[in-house]
Amino acid sequence: TMGGTGATLVVPFMFMWLSKSKRNKAIGRASVVPTFFGVNEPILFGAPIVLNPVFFVPFIFAPIANVWIFKFFVDVLGMNSFSVNLPWTTPGPLGIVIGTGLGLMSLVLALTLIVVDVVIYYPFFKVYDAQILEEEKAGVSSTDSLKEKVEGSFDTKKAKAVLASVDANENDPKVFENKIIEAKNVLVLCAGGGTSGLLANALNKAAAEYGAPVKAAAGSYGAHMDIMKDYDLVILAPQVASNYEDIKQDTDRLGVKLAKTQGGQYIKLTRDGQGALAFVQEQFED
């Protein structure tokens, strides 16, 4: 799954180099670097690919095809399987070559998967690019068009209520009064380490602005066990909040505070540095 969920490594390059739509070209340029390192939220939600019927088939089928081909190379052609544990942000092509022991066959596999993923995504990309180009020529906002498509296929009442709540809270800002005296290290966990970076960055900027002794770092759930002991507070992003009870056994044993967040709440915290610091402060007031 090079490039994260959906094997999207090739998609930003296609948007950047092959799009006729100016909007799609811009999205490709903005998302190509993070996707190369496995953080593909910019292309998933920027294109978007998520909740986009056009990309449903390639988004599901490309990773499956990649695994089939990988298994063929290992079982039939005798390529080494994975034997090296690499950081999750290792670029997909390099991860395959290094992770399987720097074999020649793994280089061939990486190139093969790139070609296959382009072939799978290309027809659907062309359809979507033509749609967006037509909307641009007609002066229709792609955001409004996507909104109409989503509302026609899904019940969006709950989502609208969450966003309305976030907007209402942003219009009613609270002044942050720093009561954190001792240095606090905060670890924000999400599924892959990309979304958690948004909150970690917001916390670090706000801490510098308000002189709070707080340092935050982002991590991925599953890679946290060895570093968790070095932190005073662990915050779970919405994607991994369901693991709260499991991880609480470990945080209690280590004497580390644990907090979980919900969708609308997390969005607000990433946008509001004061609120993020206040949230951290609340965890230590118990």
Residue in the structure block whose two tokens are 């044993």: 253
Alpha-carbon span 2 to 92, nearest angstrom: 4
| 210 and 93 in a common domain | no
Q: Residue 240: pLDDT band by 50, 70, 90 thresholds?
A: confident
Whole-number pLDDT of residue 133: 93
Q: Residue 145: pLDDT band by 50, 70, 90 thresholds?
A: low
* Cα-Cα-Cα-Cα dihedral sign, residues 196, 202, 205, 208: negative
| 205 and 138 in a common domain | no
| 25 and 119 in a common domain | yes
Give the domain-ending residue among 113, 134, 153. 153
| Mean pLDDT calculated for residue range 247-274 | 89
Whole-number pLDDT of residue 143: 57
Q: Residue 196: pLDDT band by 50, 70, 90 thresholds?
A: confident
Whole-number pLDDT of residue 226: 80
Domain residues for the domain of 14 are 10-153
| 207 and 144 in a common domain | no
Q: Residue 119: pLDDT band by 50, 70, 90 thresholds?
A: very high
| 76 and 14 in a common domain | yes
Furthest C-alpha separation in the chain: 64
- Range with the largest mean pLDDT of 41-50, 153-162, 248-257: 248-257
| 240 and 131 in a common domain | no
Is 168 inside any structural domain? Answer: no
Helix, strand or coil for residue 257?
A: strand
Residues forming the active site: 190
Alpha-carbon span 118 to 126, nearest angstrom: 11
Residue 189 sits in a domain whose CATH number is 3.40.50.2300
172 pLDDT higher than 90: no
Amino acid identity at 182: E
Whole-number pLDDT of residue 167: 59
Alpha-carbon span 41 to 38, nearest angstrom: 9
The more confident residue out of 166 and 181 is 181
Whole-number pLDDT of residue 140: 64
Least confident of 101-105, 164-168, 193-197, 218-222: 164-168
- Domain total in the chain: 2
The more confident residue out of 225 and 81 is 81
| 142 and 19 in a common domain | yes
171 pLDDT higher than 70: no
Is 138 inside any structural domain? Answer: yes
Averaged pLDDT score across all residues of the chain: 86
Q: What is the pLDDT of residues 89-98, one digit of tens each?
A: 789 899 999 9
Give the domain-ending residue among 153, 174, 196. 153
Is 263 inside any structural domain? Answer: yes
Q: What is the pLDDT of residues 69-94, one digit of tens each?
A: 999 999 999 999 999 888 877 898 99
Q: Residue 46: pLDDT band by 50, 70, 90 thresholds?
A: confident
| Mean pLDDT calculated for residue range 24-33 | 91
The neighbouring-strand residues paired with 188 are 218, 235
| Mean pLDDT calculated for residue range 42-53 | 87
162 pLDDT higher than 60: no
Q: Residue 233: pLDDT band by 50, 70, 90 thresholds?
A: very high
Is 58 inside any structural domain? Answer: yes
